[in-house]
Chain A
Amino acid sequence: MQVNDKKKIVVSEGYLSDASSVVEEYLVKNLELFSGVRPFDDVL
């Protein structure tokens, strides 16, 4: 991710892959947290 000389965001090649990994990790970690919270532990 870069900001060019016109102060515009330029999404660099490969950014989506890195950002997807972050999103996946975040959602999965939240799911794992939910799974330890009663009464949700039996659902998840």
Chain B
Amino acid sequence: MIFKLQRRVISDNLRRLNDYESRIDQNFRLSAKNIPSDLALDSPNEAERAWAEGHLVEYTELTGFLPDILRQSSVVTLVSILESEYERISALLGGKLGLTEKVTDANGQGVVRSSDYLKRVCGIDLPRIDGLWQEVNNLIQIRNCIIHANGHVDRVKDNKREQERTRENKREQERTRENKREQERTRENT
């Protein structure tokens, strides 16, 4: 029963998202179609030229910038649905087992957190479904790139390098502090 219900919820949420994107995308297309194709960009009349240039900007946005943002937002929402539904399933199973530890207490974030909870707390180590997991993981990486670097793949790599440098610096600082503490303890004992 719950299986069927949960399956229905997943399908409904995904269908709504796809319908929403289609409708907005269609509106962009219709609005762009209403812009005249013979814009008087070279008109000697300044007002006419300004009007034409305004419409050209609008056309460019309706056919490029806005659909791009819409599709990127849809990917972000899609991964959000994936994570929340996976978490809901994990919470349901944890509740059935009467566990006090919640899925939100597990390590990591998103799908990784739910998987960690299922494995470590519920004792269920699900096989990562061949091929599908790779595709899902790619989708998550794309979402992360959109969120953290506005879709710029090279910036994500730079961010990762920067994060690793920061972590290494913190480790180095901690080692230095520990060495100082050790030296102080040695001095006090002598």
> Which residues of A come within 8 Å of B, CB atoms?
1, 3, 6-13, 15-17, 19-20, 22-35, 37, 39-40, 43-44
Contacts of B18 on A, CB cut-off 8 Å? 16-17, 20
What number of residue pairs across chains A and B have CB atoms under 8 A from each other? Answer: 104
| B32 proximal to A (CB < 8 A) | no
Inter-chain contact B152/A22, CB cutoff 8 Å: no
| B99 proximal to A (CB < 8 A) | no
Minimum distance in angstroms from B137 CB to a CB of chain A = 10
28 contacts between A and B (CB under 8 A): A7-B153, A8-B151, A9-B142, A9-B146, A9-B151, A10-B151, A13-B71, A16-B71, A16-B74, A16-B78, A19-B78, A20-B18, A20-B78, A22-B135, A22-B136, A23-B14, A24-B11, A27-B86, A29-B132, A30-B89, A30-B126, A32-B3, A33-B127, A39-B97, A43-B2, A43-B93, A43-B96, A44-B3
Interface 1/0 per residue, B13-33 and A, CB below 8 Å: 010011001000100000000
Contacts of A13 on B, CB cut-off 8 Å? 25, 67, 71
The 5 lowest CB-CB distance pairs between A and B, nearest first, are: A11-B71, A9-B151, A44-B3, A20-B14, A16-B74
Contacts of B60 on A, CB cut-off 8 Å? none
Minimum distance in angstroms from B160 CB to a CB of chain A = 15
Inter-chain contact A11/B132, CB cutoff 8 Å: no
Inter-chain contact B142/A23, CB cutoff 8 Å: no
A-side binding surface: helix, strand, loop or mixed?
helix
Q: Which of B7, B85, B145 contacts A9 (CB 8 A)?
A: B145
Q: Which of A1, A11, A27 contacts B82 (CB 8 A)?
A: A27
Q: Which of A20, A29, A39 contacts B17 (CB 8 A)?
A: A20
B-side binding surface: helix, strand, loop or mixed?
helix
Minimum distance in angstroms from B158 CB to a CB of chain A = 11
Minimum distance in angstroms from B175 CB to a CB of chain A = 36
| B57 proximal to A (CB < 8 A) | no
